Chain A
Amino acid sequence: MSAELAPETTAEAVPRGRAVRRALGRYLRHPGLSLGLFVLVLLSFVAIAAPWLAPHGPTEADLMNTLAHPSGDYVLGTDQYGRDILSRLIWGARISLEVALAVVALSLTFGSLIGAIAGYAGGWLERTMMMGNDILLAFPGFLLALALVAARGSSLENVILAVSIAYTPRVAAVMRSVVITIRPRPFIEASRAIGMSSSRVLLRHVLPNALPPVIVVTTVSAATAILAEAGLSFLGLGVQPPTATWGNIISDGQGFITSNPLISLSAGLCIAITVIALNLLGDGLRDTLDPQMRRYTGERML
């Protein structure tokens, strides 16, 4: 009975399996979060199974059927080289999710380390690190990514690297602002009092406790990464054609927007659905993980 009323206070008395299930239930009851998660799982499946799902190869040109309208053979029609749009969209999901995953992994690792060290160390180290961080933050993220790709050359690796460099300072800023609220808490003081080394306190106690807001930020950064990759590809600076990416498909269709609007429209919808799913997941995680952290996650990610 008491377990029903106050699950938090008796969580330790409840067997671990049930506690986990209860926590999962709390997340899944959030409509936005579960919808976002469902769409992302589905997209990941499509991306992984692309070679088997796609009816044609992504760069397979059928020169007899260029700019074909939707038919039984080409469900969404073909582009100016006679490539099947549906197959290209399916393969494009791979690139988008790859970029999102890689950018999240890189910016989460480096951003949270930089932010945590700065926030935990304090003093001149914090001031210098945050100065550098603020300088990078002053650049519009997309502009910085564009300039880096322009310098390093256009390839998938460089796009991932550039977008990660552009968005890592945002993760670092959020991490630092969370860590400075954790640093003065008694359990940190206690760990230091029993003689734990700084790096151990940082890795074992500060980082895990600061993670929830940072996870929310990285969900949003995955969304921005997908938009940034699409934008770069659209401008011709991202992953180079003929590789199928959603941004490339929109760019291919741009010239035929009046006669074959489906090419650009369908690719744009794919991007939007993925980004909406990531934003729903991010909003949902924010509501369920810690409702108080609204303040510093929303504004920082732009």
Chain B
Amino acid sequence: MLRYTARRLLLMSITVIGMVTVVFFLLRAIPGDPASYMLGDYATEESVAALKAELGLDRPVWEQYLGFVKRALTGDLGTSVVTGQPAFDEVLESIPWSAALSVSGIVIAVLAGVPLGVMSAVRHGTFADLFIMFGALVGISFPVFWVGLVCILLLAHEVRLFPALGASSSTDFFTQVHHLMLPALVLGFSVAAYIARLTRSAMLEVLGQDFVRVARAMGVPERRIVYRLALRNALIPVLAVIGVTFAWSLGSAILVEAVFSRPGLGSMILKAVFARDYQLVQAGVFVLASAVVLVNTSLDIVYGWVDPRVSVS
């Protein structure tokens, strides 16, 4: 078990270094000269040269790369061209906003998706199954930003249940939660659809296995079979799925934040893209991706604790 945890952590550090590499080459993917691109059309020669020197663009690529990795691993992700602040600090500022949205979205998704998926699998082939699966299909097929717009139209303008803006400047906790509710519901709805589909197929697989048939033959009550035998075994793959959906939900969160004009990592990255503040984009992308790896590694380790078979193989 300890070895398994150590292996996971080692794998995680390799992945993070790999991600730094990808992020490094993102800046170099800018056609032509990144420095003059970042400063726009009206930049002076001197300012371009200064930025070039700051980014190390005048040195050989491998030297730039090594320097970038070394600095990134110590938390120095460059400075924002627009505000002059360290990029990492800017990122840290928007993390609580993103974390609140993602966590509440995932919680809503798990609370709705897992029971619906179980219900659908237990009533396999019935009208309820068809209905839930159709709902899930709709959930994964509608663009999340469009669902957001429709919710704003219906629940913020027609019925004034929620504010149309995803955040407020008030420091009052309940006002903030009230503003968070609609974006979290929209994000949760689309993630719930994925979770319901995957829970259903995991559940169906377990319900078709021999030990379930034996339990049925022995006269174990159906409720007990579903909740004690099948669900516990199906929960393991579902746990893994939640890790995967987390990465996906962070991608959707960018769109949700944009629709609800909510601050957060996604909005920060978008703003930086339009301001050509590329070091801030790099920092944001790196931190978002690191969050995914961190969550998935911890889930993997939990997974190993819950199911000893995993850590052995």
From A151, A257, A271, A275, give the contact of B27 (CB < 8 A).
Answer: A151
* Residues in B216-249 with C-beta less than 8 Å from chain A: 237, 240-241, 244-245, 247-248
Known contacts A299-B198, A302-B194; decide if A139 and B289 are in contact (CB<8 Å): yes
- In the assembled complex, which residues on chain B have CB atoms less than 8 Å from the CB atom of A294? 201, 205
Known contacts A138-B289, A268-B146; decide if A143 and B250 are in contact (CB<8 Å): yes
B30 x A234 contact (CB < 8 A): no
B19 x A234 contact (CB < 8 A): no
A302 x B273 contact (CB < 8 A): no
A298 x B141 contact (CB < 8 A): no
A261 x B153 contact (CB < 8 A): yes
Known contacts A136-B22, A138-B19; decide if A152 and B31 are in contact (CB<8 Å): yes
A171-189 interface bits toward B, Cβ cutoff 8 Å, 1 = contact, 0 = none: 0000000000000000000
A136-157 interface bits toward B, Cβ cutoff 8 Å, 1 = contact, 0 = none: 1011111110111011110000
A143 x B254 contact (CB < 8 A): yes
- In the assembled complex, which residues on chain A have CB atoms less than 8 Å from the CB atom of B194? 302
Q: Does B206 contact A (CB under 8 A)?
A: no
Number of A residues contacting the other chain (C-beta, 8 Å)?
49
Q: Does B137 contact A (CB under 8 A)?
A: yes
- In the assembled complex, which residues on chain B have CB atoms less than 8 Å from the CB atom of A135? 15, 18-19, 21-22
- In the assembled complex, which residues on chain A have CB atoms less than 8 Å from the CB atom of B152? 257
Known contacts A138-B289, A140-B289, A299-B240; decide if A250 and B251 are in contact (CB<8 Å): no
What distance in Å separates the Cβ of A267 from its nearest Cβ neighbour in chain B?
8
* Residues in A222-278 with C-beta less than 8 Å from chain B: 223, 227, 230-231, 234-237, 247, 250, 254, 257-258, 261, 264-265, 267-268, 271-272, 275-276
Q: Does B143 contact A (CB under 8 A)?
A: yes
A143 x B255 contact (CB < 8 A): no
- In the assembled complex, which residues on chain B have CB atoms less than 8 Å from the CB atom of A234? 143, 145, 255, 258
- In the assembled complex, which residues on chain A have CB atoms less than 8 Å from the CB atom of B201? 294-295, 298
Complex-state Cα separation, A249 to B130, whole angstroms: 32
- In the assembled complex, which residues on chain A have CB atoms less than 8 Å from the CB atom of B255? 142, 231, 234-235
A271 x B31 contact (CB < 8 A): no
A140 x B18 contact (CB < 8 A): no
B143 x A152 contact (CB < 8 A): no
Q: Does A78 contact B (CB under 8 A)?
A: no
Interface secondary structure of B, over-half rule: helix
B293 x A138 contact (CB < 8 A): yes
A276 x B138 contact (CB < 8 A): yes
A140 x B149 contact (CB < 8 A): no
What distance in Å separates the Cβ of B257 from its nearest Cβ neighbour in chain A?
10
From B30, B237, B241, B292, give the contact of A152 (CB < 8 A).
Answer: B30
What distance in Å separates the Cβ of B70 from its nearest Cβ neighbour in chain A?
19
Query: Across the two chains, which residue of chain B brings its CB closest to A294?
Result: B201
Complex-state Cα separation, A153 to B273, whole angstroms: 10
- In the assembled complex, which residues on chain A have CB atoms less than 8 Å from the CB atom of B180? none
Q: Does A51 contact B (CB under 8 A)?
A: no
- In the assembled complex, which residues on chain A have CB atoms less than 8 Å from the CB atom of B248? 140-141, 302
Q: Does B281 contact A (CB under 8 A)?
A: yes
Known contacts A298-B198, A302-B248; decide if A231 and B143 are in contact (CB<8 Å): yes
Known contacts A140-B250, A302-B194; decide if A264 and B141 are in contact (CB<8 Å): no
- In the assembled complex, which residues on chain B have CB atoms less than 8 Å from the CB atom of A153? 31
A138 x B15 contact (CB < 8 A): yes
Q: Does A134 contact B (CB under 8 A)?
A: yes
- In the assembled complex, which residues on chain A have CB atoms less than 8 Å from the CB atom of B146? 250, 264, 267-268, 271-272
Complex-state Cα separation, A247 to B157, whole angstroms: 22
Q: Does B197 contact A (CB under 8 A)?
A: yes
CB-based closest 10 A-B pairs: A142-B251, A135-B18, A268-B146, A140-B251, A275-B141, A302-B248, A150-B273, A151-B29, A276-B141, A272-B142
Q: List 29 interface pairs A-B (beta carbons < 8 Å), by A numbering.
A: A132-B18, A134-B15, A135-B19, A136-B22, A138-B19, A139-B289, A140-B289, A140-B292, A142-B255, A143-B251, A146-B269, A148-B29, A150-B273, A150-B281, A151-B30, A152-B29, A231-B255, A234-B145, A235-B254, A235-B270, A237-B273, A250-B143, A264-B149, A268-B146, A272-B138, A280-B137, A298-B198, A299-B198, A302-B247
Show the binding face of B for A, using Cβ within 8 Å. Answer: 14-15, 18-19, 21-22, 26-27, 29-31, 137-138, 140-146, 149-150, 152-153, 157, 194, 197-198, 201, 205, 237, 240-241, 244-245, 247-248, 250-252, 254-255, 258, 269-270, 273-274, 278, 281, 285, 288-289, 292-293, 296
Known: A131-B14, A272-B146, A294-B201. 16 other contacts (CB 8 A): A132-B18, A135-B15, A135-B18, A139-B19, A140-B288, A146-B269, A147-B285, A234-B255, A268-B143, A268-B146, A275-B141, A276-B138, A276-B141, A299-B237, A299-B240, A300-B244
